[in-house]
Amino acid sequence: MQQGPDTEPETSAEPREARRAGIAAFIGTTIEWFDFYIYGSASALVLGKIFFPDMSPALGTLAAFGTFWVGFLARPLGGLIFGHFGDRFGRKNALVITLLMMGTATFCVGLLPGYAQIGVAAPIILIALRMLQGVAMGGEWGGAVLIATEYAPPGRKILYGAFAQQGSPVGNLLATLAFLAIAQLTEPAFSSWGWRVPFLLSAVLVFIGLFIRLRLAETPEMHRLLARNQVTRLPIREVLSRYPVPVALGVGAGAVGVAVTYVKTTFALSWATAELGFHRSEFLTVITIALVVQVLVQPFGAVLASRFDLRRAVICMLLPELVLLPAMFLLIQTGSMGLAVLGMAVATVPHAMFYAALAGMLAQLFPVQVRYTGMSLCYQLCTTLFAGTAPALCQTLLATTGSIWSVVAVGLGYVLISLVCVLALLRRGALRSEPRPGAATEVTA
């Protein structure tokens, strides 16, 4: 696999260490994503009523989606802060700090009084805590991917990057299951204290994650740089001056992988329960089944991208979404729970498989000295521009046009953006198909 300029041949770990790092990356990102996703479910179901009670239900939901986006606005900042820290001082310490930050912010949301108790201070504090979540998540993703990929054997970086990516659907599944359980409560109980339970229980998961991360060693590639004092003084300057085109295309490459999830879960949950007559527990069940499908099929995207030509693999993963995404909305609109399950489960497959390969692809774009900063910048700008805006944009389009087809058009736009950007990176040589394990590794001096 071709590396960026000014890098040395890769140093890979023993297979046992590589597997341990991959599992640690998966568990850590699962906990972080659980904390991040429970906010999305809460914003769709209850936060508008608790923190914006003077607005109409539709505007309250839109305001809650606005606070949801705040977390994404803060993610590039987290990527820059912890990318700099991770590229200069190591991946492990950055990941310990991000986990502590995320756990603290999430727990505090669970304790936060509503508008009825402390007035306008409630939404202000909510926004501040969501920003803290965003900073933590912005620093988490790149470090977790690098813990997995920089331990990976040659030719298996995309495959090992999928360990970190798998934390997203599993965390989302756990968050959805948590809200599905408390959705059985009566409306008064759910609105007064039930929605807080997942936020408070996250503290237990954070302690588990800290125990695992504190036992990890630094990655072999980063350990070599630190030992030889070859770290870059200001990684962001080098990324922006030497790799501006890969950054721009990397931002677009992730669009479908990060945005469609929120169209299918956060927006669709609000739409189905507010306008189509689904009870919240019914549609949470629909989402849960789709997430189980995602957990099962997502790793196959990394396998496909690792074993076959990357261009063909990406095309095979993304093109079906152009048909399946519109079909999903049509089936949900029937009001039938069975058809909604079918539509969402099948439409999950293409973008989930692509998401599995995305981490390893973005890790290819930058040399180890600036890799944490570079790939974090790509991914977190992508989430800010596409994922964080998706629920509010879809809600606004639905409210102004009255047609779900405007939402479908946005979803298809995400697919096309990713496809065009990945193909452009492949044409430029910034992305390459990985060599088979045991093949010679090409290095650019």
Q: Global pTM?
A: 0.83
What's the mean per-residue pLDDT of the chain? 87
Assess contact for 266 and 43: CB atoms under 8 A: yes
Cα–Cα distance measured from residue 102 to residue 98, given in angstroms and rounded to the nearest whole number: 6
Mean pLDDT, rounded, for 77-90: 92
* Residue 423: inside a domain: yes
**Digit-coded pLDDT (tens) for 374-424:** 999 999 999 889 987 888 899 899 989 999 999 999 999 999 999 999 999
Among 21, 209, 216, 196, CA closest to 101: 209
- What was the pLDDT predicted at 366? 93
10 found inside a domain: no
- Kindly tell me if the per-residue pLDDT of 8 is higher than 70: no
Distances (CA, A) of 225 to 68, 220, 371, 431: 38, 9, 12, 23
Question: Using an 8 Å Cβ cutoff, are 344 and 332 in contact?
Answer: yes
Q: Has residue 416 been placed in a domain?
A: yes
% of the chain beyond a pLDDT of 70: 94
Contacts of 145 (CB under 8 A, 6+ apart): 25, 161, 164, 165, 359, 360, 362, 363, 375
Dig out the tokens for 445 from the structure. Answer: 């001096």
Pairwise CA distance, residues 355 & 252, whole Å? 13
Q: Would residue 441 count as lying in a domain?
A: no
Q: Which alpha helices (DSSP H) does 46-193 contain, by range?
A: 47-51, 57-89, 91-111, 115-118, 121-149, 157-182, 187-192
Is 3 a domain residue?
no
Full residue range of the structural domain in which residue 357 is found: 15-428
For range 207-227, the mean pLDDT: 86
Q: Average pLDDT in the 245-257 region?
A: 95
Task: Look at residue 141 and tell me if it is in a domain.
Answer: yes
- Residue 3, pLDDT > 70, answer no
| Helix 268-275 and helix 321-333, axial crossing angle in degrees, nearest 10 | 20
Percentage of the residues of the chain whose pLDDT score is greater than 90: 48
pLDDT band with cut points at 50, 70 and 90 for residue 445: very low
Find which of 18-27, 66-75, 307-316 is predicted with most confidence, using mean pLDDT: 307-316
> How high is the pLDDT of residue 435?
62
> How do residues 266-294 score in pLDDT, each as one tens digit?
889 889 998 898 988 899 899 999 999 99
The CATH number of the domain holding residue 167 is 1.20.1250.20
Question: Does the pLDDT of residue 2 top 50, yes or no?
Answer: no
CB 297 within 8 A of CB 349: yes
438 lies in a domain?
no
**Residue 54 confidence (pLDDT) above 80:** no
In order of 65, 110, 134, 175, 273, the CA distances from 105 in angstroms are 18, 9, 10, 16, 28
For residue range 111-145, list pLDDT tens digits in order. 999 888 898 898 889 889 989 988 998 999 999 99
Cα separation, 92 vs 217, whole angstroms: 7
Q: Does residue 89 surpass a pLDDT of 70?
A: yes
Give pairs for 18-22: CB < 8 Å, separation 24+: 18/151, 18/152, 18/153, 18/160, 20/216, 21/147, 21/148, 21/151, 21/160, 21/216, 21/219, 22/148, 22/151, 22/152, 22/160, 22/163, 22/164
Task: Please state the domain count of the chain.
Answer: 1
What are the φ/ψ torsions at residue 113 (nearest 5 degrees)? -65, 155
For position 437, what pLDDT does the model report? 53
Of the pLDDT bands very low, low, confident and very high (cuts 50, 70, 90), residue 69 is confident
Residue 420 or residue 57, greater confidence: 420
In a domain, 217, yes or no: yes
Give 68's pLDDT tier (boundaries 50, 70, 90).
confident
Asked whether residue 349 carries a pLDDT value surpassing 80, the answer given is yes
